[in-house]
Structure 1
């Protein structure tokens, strides 16, 4: 397919007038399409658990099949965009995303649904890197690009919170397949807007694709995620768990070595020798690790422990979206004024404080008394991290690296989110399984009933509901308390990693000490507060 000549522009040519802002809206709508799918299924998990007979690990795979494939193929998506044109890959990704959504909606079993979720991740990997690569091409002014990147980053964060709300509304009116059917009309609208307002550009010259590197990266991430999710089931000292983690480490180490030796790496790992680039990517990964893991847990807490319906549970995640939307432009303004180091460090501390508040919760905690304030702090922290750190990453790249660089930025989000669901979900599972078994045994509940309750908190709640009236309430309290104990232990992980991230940002995002240079105007510096030529010199020289 050839693109219409009137829509083609030279690479890096600036867009004039208001068209670039309409293009930004269209690109953000495409981001919404694929990012909402990260979390739209969360409020449907209790329903899926009942109808598809899925335990906690099955529910983790429903979420992580999408993010794992998404993360594993983002680098490939960036490469294909560079080679064949980012707008072309964007449109192909949206078309495939809509088609596979139909297959997901028609799934008749757990394994079919997990496979379809993986297919959705494949096409999302074509969409996401293309949006940021196009954005950085059409916004050439440093200040305008900072605004556009801030809006793009805010959209990514807001979409994560919109997912449960939209999913909850759909489940109030329709069955669980509706969370996939909705992608079809949304995809049509996104594709139409992109065709009308997003300009095409000739592909960038690229070298031969590194298929071995791709396979090593996918194998490493896949084995790591599988081993973490199934660890509570097999046992953390089981040879399958230890062997899986060891093989994952070997595969990922092989990937890094391969990328250092080949002439055409799919990921230039030398970029990570630039401490600003590496730290910013790590900060984003940590933020989404904590956020995705928490949303996976809190939607179950809302529906099972607090007894909210799907829509009620979804609406109660709205503080994430509202606070992100309000504070994202503020974060970018503060980053431009004070630099990304201070803003990102404060953001990580805010997230850590939000997770710390959750440790004071119990099964009787009220939404307005505690939970909303914890979520507001988390969302504020995410806003302070996401936009400024994205700007640091993109300012660290040369124009010809835009596709691969945006894919690295996107990969940090999805890898972080994938591991967040896997790690926090597995900590919860380990604590819940042992805790609910002890509590139910103390109530003299038969062993076969205990085994059913250990499958998931949804199964435990259902067992308690069907129990004789004399023990039903006591069993329900036991299940709820076991879940809350697991929630607390999982959230301690989030507290720790975000606190460490705050210290890392304060130390590693400090400006490089350089000799005094003639003063330049503020407009000559990118919004991240880093001089672009200095960053490029660091990247090329491999020093930081």
Structure 2
């Protein structure tokens, strides 16, 4: 007999483990820079190497888990994640750590779509599935909370190695729970892996993600960035052509002609673009402008984390009753308002009366978007092909997050760099000014050592911060319009469950 609450607890813990790994490293970056003598570029890849491997492999991993079994895929992924985390805790160079972050990202790409696929196959009735997805989505909020807070506590008492050691027992506990509670499921009719589609999808997502990550360093108008984007676009077109031509495609690309599917993917991408961009900006604001410690910074993530978790559950309950459109559209509007509000803050902004409400509004919006949009994506595919649907959902999340860091970081760096050079003027030499423009951390140290520079550095930071937040706010408004026009407005109809028609393996398409 399937014990559904224990199955849900297991997959939520697995998803939480992945989210913890993504969040906890950000808090450890200053310590890693000192202990490993890591450059800014190395620090970037310690964070984004994980994201690159995740985004490039997640679509293919979802298809593999459908064919070979979801419980074995979850167990293998978790064991590999635990092993690579332990190895990361024992290295003594930034190069080795970057390599292991790629390995961790690859195993995370196997775990994450499998968790969503298990939910889709265990909770087959829409209202029940939506509630389960709400709790699964809440694990994102919990990860946003526990990652920074837990990382801050560990770094206060132990070395940076502890943030990786901490992931090992959590992963092993989840393995034991998966073996004990998760039933085996697979689609025996799924054909052998679509190798051309696998190779081209990895190449396309990898090239796009790599180009986005590298764009801030090379410049968005540079030859390498333009060439990378053109190559990624060509590979995406090639992937579409391959998938339309092969007999058993990894994913039916005509799914994106279904507005429920494509608009929901866009909503998820925007939500995680905003979340990762926000984390990137607000972490620096707390540490460089407000001079908070790692633990103090982590604790100040609690309002947004708690609101994401709570709103994910609420969104999962409301979507079947009110319709996806009625929940996602207000969620995107809440995100837009929060970012436009955040763009106006100053260096001495009160935390309790201004920043906390902004965080609650933002987290509430993200929660209302992510769970119903995910549920809309999963509705388009039958449970037998849930691995592919969940992988597409996870790929949009990860690409959205990578885009958020890269684009927001590039916008911020451009505006901040120009302003700090202008404001510092002739008070420092040209070389020092240029270095301050390239590194907020260096500018912060410089401002502490040279009287009179702190105000100039903070003003430049807030100018870049404000412009980036404004752009994200406008993007969320555009997303709200897309959701209003394209997402389904239908409420839950129990009679409609009987009308669901399973699509043959590899066929994709709508399930109605």
| TM-score using structure 2 length | 0.93
Partner of 1:263: 247
Partner of 1:328: 312
Question: Could you tell me which of 164, 188, 191 is aligned with 1:204?
Answer: 188
Residues in 2 aligned to 1:66 and 1:444: alpha-carbon distance in whole angstroms: 40
Residues in 1 aligned to 2:346 and 2:244: alpha-carbon distance in whole angstroms: 49
Deviation track 1:257-304 (CA, whole Å, cap 9, x = no partner) reads 222222232232111111111111111111011111111221111111
Q: What's the offset of the Cα at 1:230? A: 3.0
Question: Could you tell me which of 340, 343, 356 is aligned with 1:356?
Answer: 340
Q: What's the offset of the Cα at 1:481? A: 2.0
1:314 corresponds to 2:298: yes
Partner of 1:393: 377
Distance 1:200-1:422 versus aligned 2 partners, 3 A rule: same
Distance 1:166-1:125 versus aligned 2 partners, 3 A rule: same
* Aligned partners of 1:86 and 1:203 also within 8 Å: no
Question: Could you tell me which of 454, 467, 480 is aligned with 1:489?
Answer: 467
Distance 1:202-1:233 versus aligned 2 partners, 3 A rule: closer
Partner of 1:288: 272
Q: What's the offset of the Cα at 1:161? A: 3.5
Residues in 1 aligned to 2:382 and 2:511: alpha-carbon distance in whole angstroms: 16
Distance 1:52-1:264 versus aligned 2 partners, 3 A rule: farther
* Aligned partners of 1:56 and 1:429 also within 8 Å: no
Q: What's the offset of the Cα at 1:376? A: 0.8
Structure 2 spans left out of the alignment, 5+ residues: none
Q: What's the offset of the Cα at 1:214? A: 2.9
Residues in 1 aligned to 2:34 and 2:351: alpha-carbon distance in whole angstroms: 26
Partner of 1:246: 230
1:455 corresponds to 2:438: yes
Partner of 2:479: 501
Partner of 1:516: none
Distance 1:196-1:249 versus aligned 2 partners, 3 A rule: same
Residues in 2 aligned to 1:210 and 1:534: alpha-carbon distance in whole angstroms: 24
Residues in 2 aligned to 1:156 and 1:384: alpha-carbon distance in whole angstroms: 13
Question: Could you tell me which of 202, 213, 221 is aligned with 2:205?
Answer: 221
Q: What's the offset of the Cα at 1:543? A: 12
Question: Could you tell me which of 412, 427, 430 is aligned with 1:444?
Answer: 427
SS of alignment partner, residue 230 of structure 1: helix
Distance 1:434-1:204 versus aligned 2 partners, 3 A rule: farther
Give the total of aligned pairs: 510
Q: What's the offset of the Cα at 1:211? A: 3.1
Question: Could you tell me which of 67, 71, 96 is aligned with 2:55?
Answer: 71
* Aligned partners of 2:321 and 2:492 also within 8 Å: no
* Aligned partners of 1:78 and 1:407 also within 8 Å: yes
SS of alignment partner, residue 480 of structure 1: helix
Residues in 2 aligned to 1:532 and 1:125: alpha-carbon distance in whole angstroms: 33
1:524 corresponds to 2:483: no
* Aligned partners of 2:243 and 2:249 also within 8 Å: yes
Q: What's the offset of the Cα at 1:52? A: 4.2
Q: What's the offset of the Cα at 1:220? A: 2.7
Q: What's the offset of the Cα at 1:100? A: 0.9
Distance 1:474-1:495 versus aligned 2 partners, 3 A rule: same
Residues in 1 aligned to 2:230 and 2:369: alpha-carbon distance in whole angstroms: 32
Q: What's the offset of the Cα at 1:238? A: 2.3
Partner of 1:480: 458
Q: What's the offset of the Cα at 1:107? A: 3.3
Distance 1:311-1:524 versus aligned 2 partners, 3 A rule: farther
Distance 1:522-1:237 versus aligned 2 partners, 3 A rule: closer
Distance 1:525-1:160 versus aligned 2 partners, 3 A rule: farther
SS of alignment partner, residue 78 of structure 2: helix
Distance 1:154-1:113 versus aligned 2 partners, 3 A rule: same
* Aligned partners of 2:332 and 2:479 also within 8 Å: yes
SS of alignment partner, residue 474 of structure 1: coil
Partner of 1:144: 128
* Aligned partners of 2:124 and 2:383 also within 8 Å: no
Distance 1:446-1:128 versus aligned 2 partners, 3 A rule: same
Structure 1 spans left out of the alignment, 5+ residues: 1-14, 513-519
* Aligned partners of 2:290 and 2:347 also within 8 Å: yes
Deviation track 1:87-122 (CA, whole Å, cap 9, x = no partner) reads 101010001101111222233333322222111110
Residues in 1 aligned to 2:138 and 2:499: alpha-carbon distance in whole angstroms: 23
Residues in 2 aligned to 1:183 and 1:543: alpha-carbon distance in whole angstroms: 38
Q: What's the offset of the Cα at 1:443? A: 4.2
1:408 corresponds to 2:386: no
Residues in 2 aligned to 1:52 and 1:446: alpha-carbon distance in whole angstroms: 29
Residues in 1 aligned to 2:454 and 2:508: alpha-carbon distance in whole angstroms: 60
* Aligned partners of 1:229 and 1:425 also within 8 Å: no
Deviation track 1:163-203 (CA, whole Å, cap 9, x = no partner) reads 21221121121222222111111111111111111122355
Question: Could you tell me which of 71, 81, 89 is aligned with 1:97?
Answer: 81
Residues in 2 aligned to 1:434 and 1:107: alpha-carbon distance in whole angstroms: 38
Q: What's the offset of the Cα at 1:522? A: 4.0
